[in-house]
Structure 1
């Protein structure tokens, strides 16, 4: 079923406009129960002494999960979007630090009712450039975050190129070959998210 949804986008007439990737998410079922796509969601996490860490990613896909008596809206995909490449540069690591921070805060906020290991995906979209990320937030990490001794490993796709340019660190939706890779990555991520507990 996921395959059929992605194959429709190979037809040029059915491709969503550049920079508007939300139809890709909804076409893969990421906006049907138990999932929902939220624009500019605010996540917060208490870091002690009356202080909170707050993250507002461009989009998030949340999964409703029954936890005890309530439903917890746990983020499963965090998306940072910047429509203009001029706002991101090498000194800012192409926005990767921001996405890592968003993934950390969203993961901590989404795991407040029960501490369990869970998988969190990320996607960075700059103009027509796509990069994908994945991490597993562990219970050990949550419990050790205050000490600063635990680390969170985030895997990225595509991997680093030889040059420090945005084009070597991402996939371009305008290229037919790279568009197929983007759609395949989205389909694989969708399949993984739909099959996670």
Structure 2
């Protein structure tokens, strides 16, 4: 048991006999003897209660050892929550296969793909989008300029104030209309993960996409490298933080339901490290939520799917390359269409 939470058994009741008189009468001695079983019984009761309190404090101690903020979570912490990541076997495990997904959806995004514009050109310090006669659309010029700023800063300055990932991601979400009603972006919403009825962990993701239906539901979160704590291989390149951000979003959804029983929840996530994009999908079972209502889950667990499958610093889809842009833009378009179909069903 952690020394900071160690509790001691309370002192058992002890009777001190006054010796004001040298001799005590036989009646007084007999009376003291008759009281002894009651005192021992009280002592047994105190021991039982104290042992019970120690068991409770052990469970409470486990919760108290969790970081108070999602940004502080490490792999060992999500193991306490029985959460793990696994590589998806195929793209459609994470990115929804949308029924009747029209080719026109792709055609509208084609102007952002720019097949001849690669990472070398975009990362050139002298790059100026106005020098490209084939890039005349002002929205495309804005996107490409923001992409150039991120590439120019490079992976070596991940997490510093000089990065431009935030503005690039914001632009990307708006290009794919994830900020068009009934879908809306919320910037830096404060969420709480409730465990055992208490707000145990705070979460502040960069962007959350919510669905405006009956009760507002958080459907997707996006975190850039600037907001990922400790983006290293030792900490899964921020995946422990992503896990808790997902759970906090789901916890907020449950609170919006009031007294209704928990249901299975699907929450998507996107991690952006420099120009590299990775997608995640979590389907959180109702039984997992029920377990969290009682404390840390013992028998329930959660697996979060990752696409692309590998988890490395530059293993995501690279927005600086034409094919990477194409994959990410189409994936976000499919996610949007899937969310709109969910709104219609709800």
Q: TM-score range by the shorter chain?
A: 0.7 to 0.9
SS in 2 for 1:111: helix
Higher relative contact order, chain-length normalized (CA < 8 Å, sep 6+): 2
Alpha-carbon distance, 1:191 to partner: 2.0
SS in 2 for 1:31: coil
- Aligned with residue 96 of structure 1, among 215, 234, 239: 239
Q: Is 2:268 aligned against 1:121?
A: yes
Q: Which moved more, 1:180-189 or 1:47-56?
A: 47-56
Match of 1:111 in 2: 254
SS in 2 for 1:154: strand
Aligned residues: 188
Question: TM-score w.r.t. structure 1 length?
Answer: 0.83
CA distance in 2: counterparts of 1:76 and 1:122, whole angstroms: 9
**Given that residues 176 and 336 in structure 2 are in contact (C-alpha distance below 8 angstroms), is that contact kept between their aligned partners in structure 1?**
yes
SS in 1 for 2:171: helix
* 1:62-81 aligned within 5 A: 62-66=210-214, 72-81=215-224
Match of 2:304 in 1: 154
- Aligned with residue 179 of structure 2, among 6, 12, 31: 31
CA distance in 2: counterparts of 1:80 and 1:91, whole angstroms: 19
Q: Is 2:286 aligned against 1:139?
A: yes
CA distance in 2: counterparts of 1:175 and 1:84, whole angstroms: 24
Structure number having the greater helix percentage = 2
Question: TM-score w.r.t. structure 2 length?
Answer: 0.50
**Given that residues 84 and 127 in structure 1 are in contact (C-alpha distance below 8 angstroms), is that contact kept between their aligned partners in structure 2?**
no
Structure number having the greater strand percentage = 1
Match of 1:21 in 2: 169
- Gapped regions of structure 2 (runs ≥ 5): 1-103, 118-134, 148-164
CA RMSD of aligned residues (A): 2.4
- Aligned with residue 189 of structure 1, among 332, 335, 341: 335
Greater gyration radius = 2
Pair 1:45–1:187, CA change in 2 (3 A): same
- Gapped regions of structure 1 (runs ≥ 5): 67-71
